[in-house]
Amino acid sequence: MLEDLERAYQNALAELDEVADQDALEAWRVRHLGRKAPLMRAYGRLRDLPPEERPQVGRRINAMRDHLQNAYEAKAHALREAALRRSLEEERIDVTLPGRPKPIGRLHPTTRTIRHIVRIFQDMGFQVFRSREVETDEYNFQLLNIPPHHPARDMQDTFYVRTPGAQEGETPPVVLRTHTSPGQIHAMRFYASLNPENPPPIRVVLPGMVFRYEQITARSEIQFTQVEGLVVGRNISFADLKGTLNEWARRMFGQHVRTRFRASYFPFTEPSAEMDVECFLCGGKGCPVCKYTGWLEVLGSGMVHPVVLKNGGYDPEKFTGFAFGMGPERITMLRHGIKDIRFFWSNDVRLLEQF
């Protein structure tokens, strides 16, 4: 019996040498250490031996079993180590390689200018009021004191949307806004609705897209942005208009920049003025950008017309206000010497990458 077991034992050790993976190891364990393994069965056959031989044979069987068990565990450990080493080798990543750069987008130059403008007014206590891009003729023109056949409409032709059932020759009531000024009416009506008996004062800026039916050239586009401003309150004067816009110009273009106001005309402001800033490219000496005048026109402004105040729900006997409107594309072109407004819409990354 012991001879058979010795053979089985040597055989098991030899087989274990050949084992190369976890599955084979498990099969080996069942074969040589499982309940039906020759060695394990031998325990049951001990009682067939003469009593004086039993202890010695039993000790030998125990020794063989312990040895196989240890060899099994050593093999299992070795296999795990080998598997780990292999996976480290195969799935190795070189963390010292430089990463692949992700192209990071940036804000459009117009957006940057809008944010710059708006931030300055926010610092002065203005809130941002957003207003719709698709307007009615009433808001875009009539409530701003521009009646249907007013000549000021010629300068702001736009895209009319013919509504179903409209009569031939009738002015269609829906338009893409030609300026951000209709937002003045929306803002006044909103604030007035908060307390119609005693409407609160207003200090808002209204940035957004506007549209005009234009020949597209280096200087004019059919779509561009504006930033509108509106202040309404008691005793708001032209001095407030000048003080606010001068301060804005200093923060926008530099502490020492000079400004000037020129009388102008808008149907919705009275009196009206355009503001020029000293050419920040030549310092006022004269250059191609300022067409050798030393001045750059940056915005239109004026005291809110009494009719417009009334249309907004503010009593012109009690309230006054000022408004202004500027074009971020134009300001961006002046600041960066961009010669053609069409660049803003061509999506050419060679322009966009420069900002």
Least Å distance, CB 355 to ligand PHE, is: 25
> What would the two tokens of residue 197 be?
């008996």
Compare residues 65 and 158 and give the one whose CB is closer to ligand PHE. Answer: 158
- Considering only residues 113, 140, 145, 181, which one is a binding residue for ligand PHE as defined by CB under 6 A? 181
Q: Verify binding: residue 301, ligand PHE, rule CB under 6 A.
A: yes
Q: Verify binding: residue 269, ligand PHE, rule CB under 6 A.
A: yes
Q: Shortest CA distance to 303 belongs to which of 258, 259, 265, 276?
A: 265
- Considering only residues 182, 267, 300, 321, which one is a binding residue for ligand PHE as defined by CB under 6 A? 300
Of the candidate spans 1-9, 57-65, 245-253, 296-304, the one that interacts with ligand PHE by CB under 6 A turns out to be 296-304
* Strands annotated E in the chain: 127-128, 134-136, 160-161, 174-176, 202-211, 223-233, 259-266, 269-278, 295-304, 320-326
Size of the site for ligand PHE (CB under 6 A): 11
Compare residues 28 and 211 and give the one whose CB is closer to ligand PHE. Answer: 211
Least Å distance, CB 183 to ligand PHE, is: 10
Calculate the alpha carbon distances from 263 to 266, 273, 274, 276 in Å. Answer: 10, 4, 6, 11
Site for ligand PHE in 308-327 (CB under 6 A): 323-325
Q: Verify binding: residue 140, ligand PHE, rule CB under 6 A.
A: no
Respond yes or no on whether the N-terminal peptide bond of residue 173 is cis (omega within 30° of 0): no
The answer to whether residues 190 and 184 touch, using CB atoms and an 8 Å cutoff, is no
**∠ Cα 49 51 56 (to 5°):** 80
Instruction: Say how far apart CA 107 and CA 349 lie, in whole Å.
Output: 12
Q: Shortest CA distance to 38 belongs to which of 19, 64, 16?
A: 64
Per-residue contact string for residues 213-232; x = within reach of ligand PHE by CB under 6 A: ---------------x----
Least Å distance, CB 214 to ligand PHE, is: 13
Least Å distance, CB 318 to ligand PHE, is: 21
Of the candidate spans 56-64, 109-117, 145-153, 294-302, the one that interacts with ligand PHE by CB under 6 A turns out to be 294-302
Q: Verify binding: residue 72, ligand PHE, rule CB under 6 A.
A: no
Q: Verify binding: residue 131, ligand PHE, rule CB under 6 A.
A: no
- Considering only residues 208, 302, 321, 328, which one is a binding residue for ligand PHE as defined by CB under 6 A? 302
Instruction: Say how far apart CA 229 and CA 245 lie, in whole Å.
Output: 10
Compare residues 80 and 260 and give the one whose CB is closer to ligand PHE. Answer: 260
Q: Shortest CA distance to 310 belongs to which of 322, 300, 318?
A: 318
